[in-house]
Each structure stands twice: as structure tokens, then as C-alpha cells.
């Protein structure tokens, strides 16, 4: 750098991005507290574990990571239609 070139200031976090992200994380944590679910990690990957109403000991979770969560969201309407068509209740 030459003598007349300004040294860039340290980049400060953009609260316009970080605050909404933190709000989403906090909202997720609140939803977990109210549900029959938990979040964990396996080999460095985040997992969401869902428990049935009858699994009071939380021994048999339905668990999935981000890739399957995205696939579920992409096909949520198909999943709902499947349940509607095959639900015997």
C-alpha cells in the first residue's frame, strides 16, 4: 500500500442481517420447548428429532437433517395429500 492509500476499517457486523437471524434461532428454540421434539448433532450435522405422543421415554425418534428437511418442505403438499388419502381415523 502506498502512503496515501487509506487502510480499510474493520468490517462491523450488519445488524440488519444478524438480528433477524438471531430472532429466527430464538423462535426455533421456543417452538422446540413447546413441542415433542429436540435438536441435536451427529458427526457435526444438525438433526431435528420428533417423538410420537406414545414415546414418553423418547427412545424412538423420527430424526432428519437439513437435506431431508428441505425435501420434506418441497413436498409438504404431497405429504398432506398422502395423509388425507390414507388416514383411517
Residue carrying the nine cell digits 388425507: 84
List of the chain residues with pLDDT < 70: 1-16, 34, 89
The pLDDT value recorded for residue 35 is 80
Q: Give Cα separations from 72 to 25, 29, 59 (angstroms).
A: 20, 20, 23
Q: How far is CA 50 from the centre of its chain?
A: 12
Q: Which of 77, 78, 49 is nearest to 63 (CA)?
A: 49
The pLDDT value recorded for residue 43 is 94
Q: What order of strands is seen across the sheet that includes strand 62-64?
A: 37-42, 45-50, 62-64
d(CA 6, CA 41): 44
Helix axes 76-86, 66-74, angle to 10 degrees: 70
* pTM more than 0.75: no
Amino acid at each position: 500500500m502506498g502512503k496515501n492509500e487509506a487502510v480499510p476499517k474493520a468490517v462491523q457486523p450488519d445488524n440488519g442481517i444478524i438480528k433477524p437471524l438471531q430472532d429466527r434461532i430464538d423462535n426455533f428454540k421456543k417452538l422446540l420447548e413447546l413441542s415433542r421434539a429436540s435438536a441435536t448433532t451427529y458427526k457435526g450435522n444438525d438433526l431435528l428429532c420428533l417423538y410420537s405422543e406414545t414415546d414418553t421415554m423418547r427412545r424412538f425418534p423420527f430424526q432428519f437433517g437439513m437435506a431431508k428437511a428441505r425435501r420434506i418442505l418441497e413436498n409438504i403438499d404431497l405429504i398432506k395429500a398422502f395423509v388425507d388419502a390414507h388416514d383411517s381415523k
